[in-house]
Amino acid sequence: MLVQSYNPFHHLMLSALVAAIPIILFLLCLTIFKMKGIYAALINLAVTFLISMFVFQLPFGEASGSVIQGAIQGIWPIGYIIVMAVWLYKISVETGKFDVLRASIASISQDQRLQLLLIGFCFNAFLEGAAGFGVPIAICAVLLVSLGFQPLQAAMLCLIANGASGAFGAIGIPVGVISTLNLAGHVSSMDVSRMTALTLPIINFTIPFLLILLIDGFKGIKEVWPAISVVSISYTVSQAFITLLMGPELADIIPPLLAMGLLALFLRKWQPRHIFLLNGQTVKTEKHTIGEVIKAWLPFYLLSIFVLVWSLPAFKNLFIPGGALDFTVLNFKIPGSSLISSINLISATGTAILLAGLTTIALTKSIDFKKGFSLLQTTVKDFWIPIVMICAILGIAKLMTYGGLTNALGEEVAKAGHIFPLLSPILGWIGVFMTGSVVNNNTLFAPIQATAAHILGAKPALFVAANTAGGVMAKLISPQSIAIASAAVGQTGNESVLTKMVLKYSVGLLAFVCLWTFVLSLVY
């Protein structure tokens, strides 16, 4: 916070109501006014800029620097990751690997309910754990469209499915960051990881059933409940086991791979009596050898390997001050402000995905580097509007943070006293809605959650876990997620439609997290 007070009206409720204007206006723009996401983001950026300056007294230089810092982070690392992930997908398509990969999944079962479980849930969760930052939504939505799902329907399903894995994206960083915050009550990431095991398993178990319900109703659940059960039980139990005993890092890596493998084995012995097809037609696929299938998954093997290496502490230590590669981290002061920004040239996750793409090209005879870089150029052209939108959203988030708007909101919510556990997840929902990131949300609001719990004599880890779980429910409709999902399926400009499709599920899951957190607070 770069202002003297986050309570400019000397009345916290009034200050918080004004601070909430950007959030309320954003929702109105996307739902009631049906604006394109880019226009909604730019209008809200201007409004937030004025509120932060003239109401919360953020100096012009700091306000401008906040927007610049948000734009830099929107391009690097977030935009960088998105472009690299879609580029890797385009390479897979250009080389024919994607067709083989799609055929390998479709060959497991022509039933599109089961394809949804394999791709929309399992593969989605795996990519969330391996990379996060919109990668699973972009790739899995496109995969579903290629198998016959409608574009916006595929985007909606992938956003909802992401609710089962968003807490542990990018090698568990959203929870792992907790240990760096020095929270009240000495809350560690392991404490929060264990506490999430009281809430997230219920959601994780439910979401596969919800996905099938959305495309084929209760009849569909009845027909394929054995397959849904295999996925729900294996994913839920293994993730709970890992979060309780090992921590957050592998919570989105091992469970989805285990669930996908067990489902594939199960479907070799069992298939539903009725094959469900959305458009009444099967997707024609060729049969491929095991060797061809293994090669087809090469880009995603490489993606996983490189991202895992990038997450290793020994690798990260190369980039800390004094490390062997610290010169690749560019730190600079934003002119006219006190803000510092940085660009990690090598340690950014996007670089890991870039190397996966380059390695795929090098190991594949059907594509050369000239064609590969041509695909990269096309990807940048396709995604520049969503990236500008993301930059604007992060600019809003920075203005709210440095201008004290987030503090005003957080302190007002914390005044709720003993009903605060009921409202605690809402704070996390707000954080992720504005930033699109559970990592940023925990960085912003976990200190407030832990402090409030400490004051109330409650368990701080419970409130921080509620902040995480509530935040995950906002990922379903955060403008950043909506922009990525819409662009991936070629529906840029229909962000308002997609938001309305997903909003009720985000709010419904949030309501459950709020009520369940309140119940847990009575026990703990």
State pTM to two decimals. 0.74
Residue 333 host element (H or E): strand 329-333
What are the tokens at 390? 């993301």
- The string over 405-418, giving b where at least 16 C-beta atoms fall within 10 Å of a residue's C-beta and e elsewhere, is bbbbbbbbbbeeee
The residues spanned by each domain of the chain are 12-523
287: alpha, beta or left? (left if phi > 0; alpha if psi -120 to 50): beta
Q: Is 435 helix (H, G, I), strand (E, B) or coil?
A: helix
* pLDDT given at position 355: 95
Count of CB atoms within 10 A of residue 342's CB? 12
Residue 85 has φ and ψ, to the nearest 5°, of -65, -45
Q: What contacts 296, CB < 8 A, 6 or more positions away?
A: 92, 97, 98, 99, 100, 101, 104, 288
Task: Output the CA torsion sign for 475, 499, 139, 373.
Answer: negative
What is the C-alpha to C-alpha distance for residues 134 and 475, in angstroms, rounded to an integer? 10
Per the CB < 8 A criterion, the answer to whether 166 and 134 are in contact is no
CA distance 356 to 519: 45
Burial of 385 (0-12, 13-18, 19+ CB in 10 A): middle
- Rounded-to-integer distance, Cα 507 and Cα 423, Å: 13
User: Is the preceding omega at residue 77 within 30 degrees of 0, hence cis?
Assistant: yes
Cβ contact 306:337 at 8 Å: no
* Gap between the Cα atoms of 75 and 83, Å rounded: 10
Residue 494 C-beta-side C-alpha neighbours within 13 Å: 16
Three-class secondary structure of residue 155 per DSSP = helix
- Up-side HSE of residue 484: CA atoms within 13 Å toward CB? 32
Rounded Cα–Cα distance for residues 453 and 463 (Å): 7
Return the pLDDT at 390: 78
The confidence score (pLDDT) of residue 444 equals: 67
The one-letter amino acid code at 229 reads S
Query: Which of 140, 239, 190, 203 has its CA nearest to residue 473?
Result: 203
- Cα 40–chain centre separation: 21
Residues of the chain with pLDDT under 50: none
Residue 106 tokens read as 């479709």
List C-alpha distances in Å: 229 to 162, 237, 258, 420, 465: 18, 12, 13, 35, 26
pLDDT, tens only, 165-201: 888 876 677 887 777 666 667 888 888 899 999 999 9
Query: 444 near 174, Cβ under 8 Å?
Result: no
**59-70 burial by CB neighbour count: b if 16+ within 10 A, else e?**
beebbbbbbbbb
Q: Give the dihedral of Cα atoms 18, 481, 203, 424; nearest 10 deg.
A: -20
What is the total residue count of the chain?
Answer: 524
